[in-house]
Structure 1
Amino acid sequence: MSGVATYRHTQKAPLGLLVYAVAIGMFLGAWFTDLQSVSFILVLVGSLILILGSAFQQLTIEDEADQIAIRFGPLPLFRKSVRYDDITDVEVGRTTFIEGWGIHMSPRGGLVWNLWGRDCVVLKLRNSVLRVGTDDAENLASFVNKRLQN
């Protein structure tokens, strides 16, 4: 799509390194403990923390021609794409304290995909609502609005 602006933004979790430190602490605890069952649990929980920490360290939102892609990473376990044709309206919003972070249903209806903070872009879809957390809400909403006008 020559001549058409594109969008790509990655938000990083400020506490991402702390998650890795906790996992390393669990592995060290497993290494130095004499109890095999405790060691096994520490390795198991540390591995789970390491995998989830890698899956939720950053949130990338990217224009992909006819859709917008939302991906947690760098371990790409969770991703979602929304076609521009399915978006009926877009606005800058804020998530509530209850909506929090991660991927889940919102008490206000629809889904929340949020890494950190309360700023978000509310994508009103044909049959639902998607709140996408970002530290670049104004630019993302502006970009999507321009795409909807084309």
Structure 2
Amino acid sequence: MTARSGTSYRHSQRGPWHLLLEGVGVVLMVVALVSGVPSAARLLLFGVGTMFLVIGSSFRVLTVEDQGDRLSVRFGPLPLFRTSIPYDDIRDVEDGRTLLLDGWGIHLSLRGGWVWNIWGRRCVVIRHRRGTLRIGTDDAENLLRFLRRRVGIGRGS
């Protein structure tokens, strides 16, 4: 947790999955460049490889940050995937764990709501006006403390 005014929060967590995505992308691009397959297939392989590189570059780090009136959650460094929740919409927060089947990335949870996770199973469960969001984090205690203080709910309010 950073302390700009003693009440701000910013935390970034890295995960290894981008290496797999980027590796597949490089392999597909190399195959496209050196193989003897028809031009259309090479173009397709190169395009899919590029897509894997771009997506991999989007999932290197998950950053959770106080934005004044809202909590911002974004993957990066290529900022293709982001969401935010206004603090006024937050109804409850709690410590949680994702299911093994929840995995990593951005997707619907088997228990309802969305999962945004880069690595590990620890998460903070946020119940808000529009549903539930599980944010995977290796800094659950500090995020919970910040949110409880910020929205005035639960322990530590």
Aligned-residue offset at 1:138: 1.3
Aligned AA for 1:32?
Answer: V
Structure 2 counterparts to residues 31-42 of structure 1, below 5 A: 31-35=33-37, 36-42=39-45
* Aligned counterparts of 2:30 and 2:62: Cα–Cα separation in 1: 29
Aligned-residue sequence identity (percent) comes to: 48
Aligned twin of 2:106: 103
Structure 1 Cα separation of the partners of residues 52 and 66 of structure 2: 30
Q: 2:24 aligns with which of 16, 22, 25?
A: 22
How much is the aligned-residue C-alpha RMSD, in angstroms? Answer: 1.6
Question: Is 1:60 paired with 2:63?
Answer: yes
The AA in structure 2 aligned to 1:28 is V
Query: SS at the partner of 1:98?
Result: helix
The corresponding residue for 1:89 is: 92
Amino acid at match of 2:46: V
Q: Is the 8 A contact 2:17 2:59 kept in 1?
A: no
Q: Any unmatched runs of 5+ in structure 2?
A: none
Task: Report how far residue 21 of structure 1 moved.
Answer: 2.5
CA contact (8 A) 2:21 2:55 kept: no
TM-score (norm: length of structure 2): 0.87
Post-superposition shift, 1:126? 2.6
Aligned length: 149
Deviations 1:78-108 (A, max 9, x none): 1111011111111110010122212121121
Number of the residue aligned with 2:149: 146
Runs of 5+ consecutive residues of structure 1 not aligned to the other structure: none
Give, in whole Å, the separation in 2 of the partners of 1:136 and 1:50: 28
Q: What SS does the corresponding residue of 1:34 show, helix, strand or coil?
A: coil
Whole-angstrom CA distance in 1 between matches of 2:137 and 2:107: 16
